[in-house]
């Protein structure tokens, strides 16, 4: 009996020590976003050792449903948890890097869209810094300034060392590179160049795994959107209908691809005039959507403001693509007057989230993830909820769709042990909810109610330092 008693106390002491060591471990997260990382690429290249290792020993989603648009819109949805139709509500957008700064964590950003030191007339300039501190920008993102893998490798060691260093506040690093998008764009999915690029990505994953496993860092690798082959589609020459001045005036700089573009009319008269011009194109070549249309799918609803008409989305149908320049494809036609000549771009993203090709991939590995787990498809906005959980910014996740939630990939025991005694606890967060609409002058039908949440530790009464987020009140 005495032996059993002593054994019980030994086990109790061991459990207490293990728990105390675990709870002192702060959450460490490294996010690598690969531009144009199509959902089927991890399956097609599963023979590569590190991609196979990541998929079989970590957690993965079958695929990720992207939002309308390209990198800019999907990255913002990933960081804010907002669908594209909510992106115009600048008054309450505070992204994961900014939220992390509020609670004493520190974020480092490498070539990450939406954060830039320089002024670029972005509508989201206020996203570049938090109210307390600024996320550290290691290298600014330059649209169309291609970032090879070698550039990331140059900064990889010091970035990971900042996570490992116990005296450093860094607990989140987000990095974005333009591969495999650049290779797919110019060489196609079945090219030798694409195979070499995927081999380089596999080597990068191997290097990341060797460091993150050794130092208990959670690694997330995902894409921003998928890609679609142009193949031998026939060109729709937009310059026959719209002059360059119209395209520059009414289209957004991030909206034009080989498969779609968006008009942003400034008046109702312009809105109707543009629709009339589009009627000159046959119905079998394009399809048109606007928020004013009754049949518009929810995924195609774009942000609107009260003082401007609804945007107009134009998609090229199968066997067609948009050409924006007279000289765009002249050097690539093998025969004169060949309408099916090879275009200068071999692939592009379609912007249309309904297409299979726009789906992207999600792979993860680390102490907070289950081993060998495959999740059902998720939305890219759910990655925001996942990051909130991993960084101990939320006590629980809120389902946002009818798909299986992304939080199922997390090891809840490890997550609970990690977040138990950190700066934010579930009880403190729930007690500090103060129901107060952000903007009482605007009413959104069928939308979640927005509240202020004070996340300051041991703060009994609300004060000016708030984090704004979405809370669904049943």
**For residue range 272-291, what is the model confidence (pLDDT) as tens digits?**
988 998 888 888 999 999 87
Those residues whose C-beta lies under 8 Å from the C-beta of residue 131, and which sit 6 or more positions away, are 98, 102, 465
pTM: 0.79
Q: How far apart are CA 159 and CA 111, in angstroms?
A: 13
| Tens digit of each residue's pLDDT (9 = 90 or more) over 354-393 | 889 999 999 999 999 999 999 999 999 999 999 998 998 8
Domains of the chain: 23-228+355-424 (3.40.720.10), 234-344 (3.30.1360)
Give the number of other CB atoms < 10 A from CB of residue 55: 18
Q: Which of 180-189, 237-246, 283-292 has the lowest mean pLDDT?
A: 237-246
Query: What's the N-to-C CA distance of the chain in angstroms?
Result: 53
| Tens digit of each residue's pLDDT (9 = 90 or more) over 385-422 | 999 989 988 764 444 444 447 888 999 888 888 887 56
Percent of the chain past pLDDT 90, that is, above it, reads 32
Q: How far apart are CA 118 and CA 271, in angstroms?
A: 33
pLDDT of 8 higher than 90: no
- With bands split at pLDDT 50, 70 and 90, how would you rate the model's confidence at 26? confident
452 phi and psi angles, rounded to 5 deg: -90, 140
More confident residue, 244 or 267: 267
Before 112, cis peptide (omega within 30)? no
């Amino acid at each position: 009996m005495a032996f059993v008693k002593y054994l019980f106390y030994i086990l109790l002491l061991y459990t207490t020590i293990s728990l105390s060591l675990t709870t002192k471990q702060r959450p460490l997260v490294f996010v690598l976003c690969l531009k144009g990382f199509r959902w089927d690429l991890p399956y097609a290249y599963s023979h590569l050792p590190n991609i196979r290792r990541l998929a079989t020993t970590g957690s993965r989603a079958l695929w990720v449903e992207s939002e309308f648009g390209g990198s800019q819109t999907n990255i913002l949805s990933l960081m804010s948890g907002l669908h594209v139709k909510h992106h115009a509500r600048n008054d309450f957008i505070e992204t994961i890097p900014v939220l992390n700064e509020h609670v004493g964590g520190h974020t480092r950003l490498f070539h990450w869209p939406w954060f830039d030191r320089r002024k670029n007339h972005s509508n989201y300039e206020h996203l570049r810094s938090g109210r307390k501190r600024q996320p550290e920008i290691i290298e600014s993102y330059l649209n169309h300034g291609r970032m090879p893998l070698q550039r990331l490798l140059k900064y990889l060691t010091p970035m990971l060392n900042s996570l490992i260093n116990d005296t450093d506040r860094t607990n989140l690093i987000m990095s974005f590179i333009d591969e495999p998008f650049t290779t797919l764009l110019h060489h196609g999915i079945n090219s030798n160049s694409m195979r070499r690029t995927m081999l380089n990505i596999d080597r990068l994953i191997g290097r990341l795994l060797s460091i993150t496993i050794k130092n208990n860092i959670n690694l997330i690798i995902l894409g921003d959107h998928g890609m679609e082959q142009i193949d031998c589609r026939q060109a729709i020459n937009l310059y026959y209908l719209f002059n360059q001045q119209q395209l520059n005036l009414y289209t957004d700089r991030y909206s034009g691809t080989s498969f779609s573009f968006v008009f942003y009319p400034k008046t109702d008269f312009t809105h109707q005039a543009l629709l009339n011009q589009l009627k000159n194109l046959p119905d079998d070549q394009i399809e048109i959507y606007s928020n004013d249309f009754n049949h518009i799918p929810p995924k195609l609803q774009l942000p609107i403001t009260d003082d401007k008409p609804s945007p107009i989305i134009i998609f090229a149908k199968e066997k067609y693509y948009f050409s924006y320049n007279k000289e765009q494809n002249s050097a690539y036609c093998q025969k004169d007057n060949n309408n099916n000549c090879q275009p200068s771009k071999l692939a592009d993203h379609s912007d249309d989230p309904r297409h299979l090709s726009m789906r992207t991939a999600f792979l993860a590995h680390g102490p907070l993830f289950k081993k060998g787990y495959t999740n059902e498809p998720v939305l890219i906005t759910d990655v925001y909820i996942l990051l909130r959980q991993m960084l101990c910014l939320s006590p629980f996740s809120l389902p946002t769709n009818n798909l299986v939630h992304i939080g199922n990939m997390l090891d809840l025991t490890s997550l609970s042990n990690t977040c138990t005694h950190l700066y934010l606890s579930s009880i403190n967060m729930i007690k500090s909810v103060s129901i107060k609409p952000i903007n009482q002058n605007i009413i959104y039908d069928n939308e979640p109610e927005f509240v202020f949440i004070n996340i300051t530790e041991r703060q009994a009464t609300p004060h000016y330092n708030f984090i704004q987020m979405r809370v669904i009140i049943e």
